Structures are given as structure tokens and as C-alpha cells.
Amino acid sequence: MSNYRIQGATGEWEVVIGLEVHAQITSNSKLFSGAATAFGAEPNSQVSLVDAAMPGMLPVPNRECIRQAVRTGMAIQAQINKWSRFDRKNYFYADLPQGYQISQLYHPLVGEGSLEVILDEKDPEGSTKTIGIERIHVEQDAGKLMHDQHPTMSYVDLNRSGVALMEIVSRPDMRSPAEAGAYLSKLRSILRYVGSCDGNMDQGSMRADVNVSVRRPGEEFGTRTETKNVNSVRFVMAVVESEARRQVDLIEDGGTVVQETRLYDPDKNTTRSMRSKEDAHDYRYFPDPDLLPLELDDAFLAECRASLPELPDAKRHRYENALGLSAYNAGVLTADVETARWFEVLLTATAAKAGKGEAEVSKQASNWLISELFGALNKLNKGLSDSPVSPEGGAELLALVADGTISGTIAKQVLEKMLESGDGAAAIVEREGLKQTTDTGAIEAAVDAVLAANADKVAEYRGGKEALFGFFVGQTMKAMQGKGNPQLVNQVLKAKLG
């Protein structure tokens, strides 16, 4: 149970949220035509005769799009319907060449499923919640109108027309902005693992219609509104917050929430009415007579299942249980499939170089990735995908630390140089003379010099202020430009300070 409550003038309110997520299916061609689907192409350069709805043109289902939707359904443990059907949703608009959208109303491809979200990312050991998913159906996207090309006319770009979408419809199971955000993030993570959608919300590959209503805790559902085409996790959370607030204020002022479609304005952080239920279209859904029912055989389903990768929950548990990572590290590394892939290459290479099992080097590798590399990349405004350091390069660096060639402190410097130059760790250490010294004579000389220069502090230390030990270590390392072997420095200092 979520404790999220909206404080109204008359008491507490609970928000109820359901999301309809439109996810563009990753495929080379459209749902019912052979036209390409690349993002950002010249207007109307990816339009087949079918997409433009020329007379006599017919849709033919793209098997790969169906396959991706089925795999997605399997990834959320959903029922896959071996018999489904396409329906026409009829309405007129200039970006809809056929005058209807081919969708699935009556018999969707994927039925009931669910996914689990962690309610507080900072507390991965904390409680989880299962969010129900009612269905996934497959449908065509529409084209795009361009209103800024001509003073009195609108232009139409049909590149998106006919692109395959999955509409993933949740149950009204979410009760706070954070839950809605966590659900959308988790869904995006699963889609990217499965490879059925790239999840690029800023390019419109994934967008959500946010259904919000409010009620007194424990009472019946209130009337909901639907805010269309929200294109980031942050905005979804903001929509829930502002729309719930608006509804509470409205009701408390004696008004009534009307069922309507709304639009989100990120600049003002408010939603505004687009059309009410009374203006809603009568879509006149009926089975598309150009298409036979979609019947899936067991071999196809088996192939879909066999091709599923390890999914985020399973991976997180494996990282915790088999690799011994902390819940936090496991959560961070498995949230995005690209991070997990990067980490696994790093882990394999690190273990190989050390001649050890992955479990033995996993902590070192995960800590370095999360605290060192992420931080360094962040400063450069880069992500893992455009990191100048490869996972193999990272493994090379970790090996140098593991075998004592360089210290952890030097490793930070080496990483910075790797990011700047793109050179390998060993080459940098060699070139810059960063190898750690185990020469006790040199260390003793450095320690003697430090103690001599800080006679007052030596006296304080000997007088019982043992915390000063770290100061002497730091000074010695500084004098040795960080190259002194830390264990030896410790030993010599202990001996000399007596």
C-alpha cells in the first residue's frame, strides 16, 4: 500500500493511476508494408503505396513485429493469445491515410500479465509491488502533420504512417507518482532487454497516456481523465501530481471531474482539456476484412520463448546471489540492458586476466564501474554507450590494480588519461612511469623526510593522537607521487612511529 496522499482542505485523497504505453516495435519495416522505419528521415521518404493508402493496396502482416510483441508478452509473464485478430478503428484525419487505423480491439495478441516494481530505488531491499497489465495489442502508428511549412496549409509526413506500435495497457494499480514512474521505467527496461522497443522517449518511440482519478482512501474509483502522449518518466510523474491536485481542488470546490482527454504542457506543468467524452469519436471498430485472423503455432511460440534474454529481475537476483553484489549495485547494473551488457563483458575479461572466478572479481569490477567510471563519464557528459573506455580496457586497468602494479589512487589518474587519450591502461602506466614502487629503501627515505618535516605532529601522535596516522600516509604518498605501495608505506610508518 502506498502512503502517498494528497492533502485537501477536507482531508486526505488517494490517487489512482493507469498507464497506456505506446511502444514502437523495433523492426526494419512497418507493420503491414515493406517501407523502412528509420527515425529522422526526410519527410515522405519512407512511404510505400500501402502506407499512403493508394486505391487497391492491401496490408500484409509483418511477422517480425508480431514476434516482438509476443516476446514482450512473454517477458511480462502474460497470456499469449494463439488466435487474435486485427480490427479497423475508423476516423478521419489528414495524418491517417486509410481513414482507419488497423488495431486490435476485440481479440488482442497478448492478454493478462504483470511486472514488479521496487517502490524506492534508494531502498532496493524495501518493498516491491506488482502492477497488473491488462493487455498488449499491436497497431499502426499515424503520420505527422507539419503546421509550420506554409501560411495557410498543413503538410503531411507519412514516414511514421503504418509503423508498428504495441499498446501496453496497465491495470489501474498505481497509487503515487513514484509508482507510475517506477512502472514506466521498469517497462522501458524490459522492452530494451527484450529488444522489442528502443525505449527512446525523446524520439517518440515510447509515450504514455496517463489515466488519473482521485478518491477517498478505500472508496470507489473516481472519474478519470486521460492525458495523452506524455514522453518522459519525469513528465508522467508530473502529470499525475498536477492532475491529481487539480481534481482534488475541483471536487473540494464543489465541481465534478469529467471524463475527458487532456494534454500536458511541460512549460506550465499543467494539463488542459483537449476534448470531452461528448466529443469522442465513434470509431466504428470492426474486424479488418483485408486480414485473416492471426493464428500462432507452438513452434513459433517456442522460438519466441527460446529467444528471450535473461530479464532484469532474474539478472538482478543472479548478481546478488551468484556474484555476491550488494542489492544496490545489482539494481544499478541491471536497470538498463546496455549497462548490464557492459558490466558482463568487463566481468568476464577481469576474471580472465586475474585467472579467477567471476564471483571473486565481481565486487571490484562493479564498484569500479559504478563509483569510478560512471562518475568520470558523468563529468564528461557521456554515457556508457559513448564511453571512450571499453569494458576490455577497464579490465586491463583493474588487472593492474589487482596485481599491485598501480595503486587505487593511481588507477583514478590512469582512468582520466584513458578517457582523454583513448590509450590503454598499461601503455599509460608505462609511458607516465606510474608503476607503484615496492622499493623499501625509497619508501623509508620518503617516510623519514615526512617525519622530519612534521616533528610537531609526530609528537602529538606519540602523545596519543593516533588519528594522525592517516596524515602521515597521505604525506608520504604525496611525496612519492602516489606510487608507493600502500601496504609497505603503512608498515614502514608503523615501524618508525613505534
Partner 1 sequence: MTDLTELGVAAIRDGVAKGDFTAVEVAEGFNANVAAAQAALNAFIVATPEKALEAARATDARRAKGEPLGKMGGVPIGMKDLFASKGVQTTAASHILEGFKPEYESTVSQKLWDAGAGMLGKLNLDQFAMGSSNETSYFGNVISPWRRNDGGNAPLAPGGSSGGSSAAVAARLAPAATGTDTGGSIRQPAAFTGIAGIKPTYGRCSRWGIVAFASSLDQAGPMARDVRDCAIMLEAMAGFDPKDATSLNLPVPEWEAGLSGDLKGKKVGIPREYRMDGMDADVAASWDRGIEWLKDAGAEVVDVSLPHTKYALPAYYIIAPAEASSNLARYDGVRYGLRDLPDGANLQEMYAATRADGFGAEVKRRILIGTYVLSAGFYDAYYTQAQKVRTLISQDFKNAFTQCDVILAPTAPTAAFGLGDMVSDPLSMYLNDVFAVPASLAGLPAMSVPAGLNREGLPLGLQIVGKAFDEQGVLNAGLAIEQRARFSAKPGRWW
Nearer to partner 1, 149 or 154 (CB): 154
Nearer to partner 1, 51 or 372 (CB): 51
- Number of CB atoms found within 10 A of residue 219's CB: 9
| Shortest separation between residue 345's beta carbon and partner 1, angstroms | 41
Nearer to partner 1, 59 or 331 (CB): 59
Nearer to partner 1, 36 or 377 (CB): 36
Q: Is 151 in the site for partner 1 (CB under 8 A)?
A: no
Nearer to partner 1, 53 or 468 (CB): 53
Contacting residue, 282, 298, 386, 456, with partner 1 by CB under 8 A: 282
State which of positions 45-84 bind partner 1 (CB under 8 A): 49, 52-61
| Shortest separation between residue 279's beta carbon and partner 1, angstroms | 13
Contacting residue, 64, 198, 226, 290, with partner 1 by CB under 8 A: 290
- And the C-alpha cell for 333? 547494473
Contacting residue, 63, 83, 94, 408, with partner 1 by CB under 8 A: 94
- x-or-dash pattern for partner 1, window 8-47, by CB under 8 A? ----------------------------------------
| Shortest separation between residue 83's beta carbon and partner 1, angstroms | 16
Contacting residue, 6, 291, 301, 497, with partner 1 by CB under 8 A: 291
| Shortest separation between residue 292's beta carbon and partner 1, angstroms | 6
Q: How many residues bind partner 1 (CB under 8 A)?
A: 30
Q: Is 295 in the site for partner 1 (CB under 8 A)?
A: no
- x-or-dash pattern for partner 1, window 407-436, by CB under 8 A? ------------------------------
Contacting residue, 13, 100, 193, 368, with partner 1 by CB under 8 A: 100
* Three-class DSSP labels, the chain: CCCCCEEECCEEEEEEEEEEEEEECCCCECCCCCCECCCCCCCCCCCCCCCCCCCCCCCCCCHHHHHHHHHHHHHCCCCECCEECCEEEECCCCCCCCCEEEECCCCCCECCEEEEEECCCCCCCCCEEEEEEEEEEEEECCCEEECCCCCCCCEEECCCCCCEEEEEEECCCECCHHHHHHHHHHHHHHHHHHCCCCCCHHHCCEEEEEEEEEECCCCCCCCCEEEEEECCHHHHHHHHHHHHHHHHHHHHCCCCCCCEEEEEECCCCEEEEEEEHHHCCCCCCEECCCCCCEECCHHHHHHHHHCCCCCHHHHHHHHHHCCCCCHHHHHHHHCCHHHHHHHHHHHHHHHHHHCCCHHHHHHHHHHHHHHHHHHHHHHCCCCHHHCCCCHHHHHHHHHHHHCCCCCHHHHHHHHHHHHHHCCCHHHHHHHHCCCCECCHHHHHHHHHHHHHHCHHHHHHHHCCCHHHHHHHHHHHHHHCCCCECHHHHHHHHHHHHC
| Shortest separation between residue 25's beta carbon and partner 1, angstroms | 18
Contacting residue, 63, 275, 277, 284, with partner 1 by CB under 8 A: 284
Nearer to partner 1, 38 or 153 (CB): 153
Q: Taking a C-beta distance cutoff of 8 angstroms, is the pair 454, 472 a contact? A: yes
Taking CB under 8 A as the binding criterion, the range among 85-93, 169-177, 366-374, 433-441 that sits at the site for partner 1 is: 85-93
| Shortest separation between residue 105's beta carbon and partner 1, angstroms | 11
Taking CB under 8 A as the binding criterion, the range among 21-29, 86-94, 123-131, 340-348 that sits at the site for partner 1 is: 86-94
| Shortest separation between residue 8's beta carbon and partner 1, angstroms | 36
DSSP-derived pairing of the beta strands 206-215 and 225-230: antiparallel
By the criterion CB under 8 A, which residues form the site for partner 1?
49, 52-61, 88, 90, 92-94, 97-100, 154, 156, 282, 284-286, 289-292
